[in-house]
Amino acid sequence: MDKICRQYVDNFMSELIRKNPGEAEFHQAVREVVESVAPYIMQYPYLREQKILERIVEPERVIMFRVPWVDDRGEVQINRGYRVQMNSAIGPYKGGIRFHASVTLSIMKFLAFEQTFKNSLTTLPMGGAKGGSDFSPRGKSDAEVMRFCQSFMTELYRHIGQDTDVPAGDIGVGGREVGYLFGQYKRIRDEFTGTLTGKGQYWGGSRLRPEATGYGACYFAQAMLATRGKSFQGQTVCISGAGNVAQYAAQKAMRLGAKVVTLSDSDGFIYDPEGLTEDKMNYVLELKNIRRGRIKEYADKYPAAQYFPGERPWRIPCDIAMPCATQNEIEKDDAQHLIEGGCYCVTEGANMPSTPEAIEIFHNAKILYSPGKASNAGGVATSGLEMTQNSIRQRWTAEEVDEHLHRIMADIHQACIKYGTEPDGYVNYVKGANIAGFIKVANAMAEQGVV
Ligand code: NDP
Ligand code: 2IT
């Protein structure tokens, strides 16, 4: 980056940090995008004159609200609810809802910001948003989760709608929570519309939406691997997380011929040197989605596997790593371990799982590295397909949805190549994804005037 560009980025970031103090995750997500797009902005003065970057980092609207509910012991509980409506330049606000104890305004803003560029990359007309609460479903009964979801929606309903803002799942929000949220929305509004995605298979949900993020990440990885004449066949894969994204990334990688040797949760990870099988995968789906158990139990069930409490899987040697748990779960040392263990491809299923220091290590080692906003876009893309199916009151087959998903992931990969190829031929997928995602939103904003 030249001196003028560097100065521009530094000034921009000091002003952003001054205006949004203490929001470390938001600063991190913005810095990455601004560093990628600054050279592009320098070439087009109208983008600077229109203050597109200054506008794009300012949410169009932030909603924060009280979520009171009563637990099973009759005690009153109070959580905080959020919806950050970041950008609606290319379509209605769209993005997931996260229920996790760690949720803060900074995390909501970083996710809504990332979502804006990710949704632009999908080629579908969707703006960017994110919502959630510091409520943790862990250890709560179904009845408690239902009462919480009903209370959350009793405020959120007035801010969303099929042409306004369409929420979906994220960490802590899966089929069960979307069901309770949708039920309450429909009850208050007295209308059956596609206002949430990730709905149940018998009431408007798209086929393959549960699988889409994990499958899409594998399709993206396939495209990256193909650039080096490789595939998943015979490769050893380390995956973190054991939730929605991790489960279906593992299933698809395995079906594509890879040996998946790790899964994790916030308490630790399991290492199965023999690799996952369809039977073991079915056990994991039942353990996590029905019994809501911990990944530790895998090692009790399959003695060849070992459980490592309090650790992340990145020191296990592998060819391909797929972080599918949460933000900043690959730090500098983890990245170093991955490279030393022979890893040559990192495909992010989670949002911002690698720290900037880790990304620098991947780039310096010239390995294949894709940021979440490119490789996990299959989830929201399939949400977009669910919106289309709801609008035309039709339901596509799994094959039709899978075909769309394949095409979308291939298009995103192509866009990354177009904008991210360096003079030496190395593809910087971060740069490619950020510039490709930015151009569409920036031009839409410029064309729509100062709003
Ligand atoms: P789930 O809630 O289904 O699973 C999350 C998994 O990550 C769990 O195994 C969980 O363990 C673990 N995890 C969560 N927080 C932490 C933490 N702070 N430290 C360590 N482990 C943690 O969520 P998803 O699978 O849906 O989401 C995973 C990631 O993928 C997130 O970054 C999300 O934003 C992203 N994503 C999700 C999409 C979707 O369609 N669902 C689409 C695109 C991205 P534990 O049970 O112990 O909490
Ligand atoms: O981060 C994400 O892209 C999601 N959690 C999915 C959002 C969606 O609207 O399907």
Over the stretch 336-383, which tens digit does the pLDDT of each residue have?
999 999 999 999 999 999 999 999 999 999 999 999 999 999 999 999
- pLDDT digit string (tens) for 242-270? 999 999 999 999 999 999 999 999 999 99
User: Which positions ≥6 away from 245 have C-beta within 8 Å?
Assistant: 213, 214, 217, 324, 349, 350, 376, 379
Atom 3 (ligand 1) nearest CA: 243
- Tokens 């970031």 identify what position? 13
- pLDDT digit string (tens) for 8-34? 999 999 999 999 999 999 999 999 999
Residue 448 pLDDT: 98
Question: 327 CA to middle of ligand 2, Å?
Answer: 14
Considering the candidates 94, 130, 230, 288, report the single residue annotated as catalytic: 130
Say whether pLDDT at 95 is over 90. Answer: yes
Ligand nearest, relative to CA of residue 323: 1
Mean pLDDT, the chain, integer: 98
Q: How many angstroms separate the CA atoms of 360 and 34, rounded?
A: 16
Q: Is the CB of 36 under 6 A from ligand 2?
A: no
Structure tokens given for 14:
């000091």
Question: 168 CA to middle of ligand 2, Å?
Answer: 6
Residue 37: pLDDT band with limits 50, 70, 90: very high
The mean per-residue pLDDT over the stretch 51-58 comes to 98
The mean per-residue pLDDT over the stretch 39-64 comes to 96
Residue 389 pLDDT: 98
Residue 1: pLDDT band with limits 50, 70, 90: confident
Is 130 noted as a catalytic residue in this protein? yes
The mean per-residue pLDDT over the stretch 420-431 comes to 98
Domains in the chain with CATH codes: 3-56 (no CATH), 61-189 (3.40.50.10860), 212-375 (3.40.50.720)
Ligand nearest, relative to CA of residue 99: 1
Question: 304 CA to middle of ligand 1, Å?
Answer: 26
Burial of 331 by CB count in 10 Å (0-12 exposed, 13-18 middle, 19+ buried)? middle
Atom 22 (ligand 1) nearest CA: 266
Query: Which of 84, 245, 347 has most ligand 1 atoms within 8 Å of its beta carbon, as the pocket-test mutant?
Result: 245
Nearest ligand 2 atom to alpha carbon 377 = 3
The mean per-residue pLDDT over the stretch 381-409 comes to 98
pTM here is 0.98
Say whether pLDDT at 48 is over 90. Answer: yes
Question: 352 CA to middle of ligand 2, Å?
Answer: 13
